[in-house]
Chains A and B, each alone.
Chain A
Amino acid sequence: MAVDAGFLNLNLLALSPPGWGGVLLEGFAASLQLAVGGFTLGLMIGIAGAFGKLYGGPILRDLLEVYTTVIRAVPELVLILLLYYAGTDAVNALLGLVGLPRVDISGLAAGIFVIGVVQGAYQTEVLRGAIKAVPPGQIEAARAYGMSPLKTLRRITLPAMLPYAIPGLSNLWLIATKDTALLAVVGFSELTLVTRQAAGSTKAYMLFFCAAGLMYLTLTLVSNRVIAIIEKRARRGIAGPV
């Protein structure tokens, strides 16, 4: 049957048409863009959120608590559906209020926004833990040297908390790469969706799903290696576990 022939027919993965390899690679690139963008946005939200939770006023702290609790309690799939449609709508409603014309928000921007908001909640918690782990004496010393808060942040707090934050952050990076697959459900052309399209068009389901799985797996394995190197560098000068 066609399916059987399809599984053996590696020509379907050729980079140029009629092979679907090129399309898969484009989808993979889109997934990567989403993951990198979402993770970076999440990192920004996370840093702001962590400092807000630690040093902010009572209202800010409570609001951030609500944000992290809600995001972490609701399935990513539901959040993605909500934010993907609501996000665009809200931006345009706001622009409408101040009398500006609607803007087109590309699928990529909306996707990065969605992944970023979800990641931000988790990163807030990871970074908050890491900042708390920085010995207060180091920050007091920075204060004694007369550093401004921003300088303390840049020169002392962020570098000092990095070793504590890296395990959590690297875990979140791996989650981000896999969460991009959920955007297939809203029709964003990332790796999982193009795989489904290719599989549906050629009926070679096994072949394409296995190929996509291999791409995700490669990304994870490469990420693990890079993370190990970064961790080693960040831990310079810190006594290892005895």
Chain B
Amino acid sequence: MSETKVTMPAYVPPPPRRLLEPHRIFLIAVFGVIVFCAIYFMRWDWLPKYQTRLLYGIGETLFLLFSTAAVGFLLALPIGLVQVTGPWPLAALARGFCTLIRGTPLLLQLWLLYYGLGSVFAQYPEIRQSMFWPYLRDAWPYGFTALMLSFAAYEGEVMRGAFAGVPRGELEAARAFGMNRFTMFRRIWLPRAFYRALPTLSGETVLQLKSTPLVATITVVDAYAVITRVRQDTFLVYEPLLLLALIYMCLTGILVLLFRYLESRIPSRGA
């Protein structure tokens, strides 16, 4: 370490900082110059041509993100709950599911579903003639399923902790009030667990956003797939990927702000 002091200080929190200190202005200026150089010296003439497709791709990414997160979360509730209170076969099943999904790469799960399961489906004429076939031959149901299961497994683990973490006294109090099991779950256990899990939801959703580009490998056309297309057509190495990184950074930023706003709106009495 480059410190000249003989001893290292114990950690002292830095004084509260203003947004614009002199060095920050300098850093922002340097950053501005880099951005200017990137815009000026790199090739961006492909942008207008792919604009519409890119917007469509971003829409697809967001649709996949929110639909899989919503359905995945609903699935995570029973997965978390049975691990805390369910009969042992169900609890073991839920635990096994979480371990299985969390222990293997999402990319592999995606390929297993799309190419593995897809090739099995295709062997049965009954499936090919059924009314579901038009959906089964599309790629997005497989992408949706894989992403949804992955979200359910990770969030299910969080919900397990959240359900287990609700103080027993509160549940006993609910029972003393004469609530039946279902009312108790609906009025006390679920809301309390939900508040406890809320802070992790933001992080999990950002992780989910970062998993969505994997679906491009099974021919779903999301933002990443459009950029891949640009790379193929223009042979540019950096520009499309840099733009894509910027897009994801903006999306992440918006998501984080959105969750911060939501959390501030939901009263968290003593949670």
CB of A97 within 8 Å of the partner chain: no
Contact in complex: B120, A143 (CB < 8 Å): no
CB of B180 within 8 Å of the partner chain: no
Query: Shortest beta-carbon distance, A37 to chain B, in Å?
Result: 17
Query: Shortest beta-carbon distance, B18 to chain A, in Å?
Result: 11
Known A59-B23, A75-B248; contact A216-B104, beta-carbon cutoff 8 A = yes
CB of A74 within 8 Å of the partner chain: yes
CB of A54 within 8 Å of the partner chain: yes
CB of B53 within 8 Å of the partner chain: no
Contact in complex: A149, B23 (CB < 8 Å): no
Contact in complex: B8, A205 (CB < 8 Å): no
CB of B145 within 8 Å of the partner chain: no
Contact in complex: B119, A3 (CB < 8 Å): yes
* Cβ contact of B8, chosen from A74, A153, A199, A221, cutoff 8 A: A153
* Cβ contact of A181, chosen from B108, B245, B253, cutoff 8 A: B108
CB of A195 within 8 Å of the partner chain: yes
Contact in complex: A78, B108 (CB < 8 Å): no
Contact in complex: B11, A131 (CB < 8 Å): yes
Q: Which residue of chain A is the closest to B249 with respect to CB atoms?
A: A73
Q: Which residue of chain B is the closest to A73 with respect to CB atoms?
A: B252
Contact in complex: A54, B23 (CB < 8 Å): no
Known A73-B249, A205-B116; contact A152-B8, beta-carbon cutoff 8 A = yes
CB of A82 within 8 Å of the partner chain: yes
CB of B24 within 8 Å of the partner chain: yes
Query: Shortest beta-carbon distance, B213 to chain A, in Å?
Result: 5
Query: Shortest beta-carbon distance, A25 to chain B, in Å?
Result: 16
* Cβ contact of B108, chosen from A136, A139, A143, A192, cutoff 8 A: A192
Contact in complex: B103, A181 (CB < 8 Å): no
Name which of A13-21, A99-107, A207-215, A227-235 contacts chain B: A207-215
Q: Which of B80-119 contact A (CB under 8 A)?
A: 99-100, 102-109, 111-112, 115-117, 119
Query: Shortest beta-carbon distance, A55 to chain B, in Å?
Result: 7
| B241 neighbours in A (Cβ, 8 Å) | 78, 81-82
B interface residue numbers (CB < 8 A to A): 1, 3, 5-12, 14, 21, 23-24, 26-27, 99-100, 102-109, 111-112, 115-117, 119-120, 123, 206, 209-214, 217, 224, 237-238, 241-242, 244-245, 248-249, 252-253
14 chain-A/chain-B pairs, Cβ below 8 angstroms = A4-B123, A75-B213, A78-B248, A86-B237, A143-B10, A150-B1, A180-B105, A182-B107, A206-B117, A210-B112, A213-B112, A216-B104, A216-B105, A220-B103
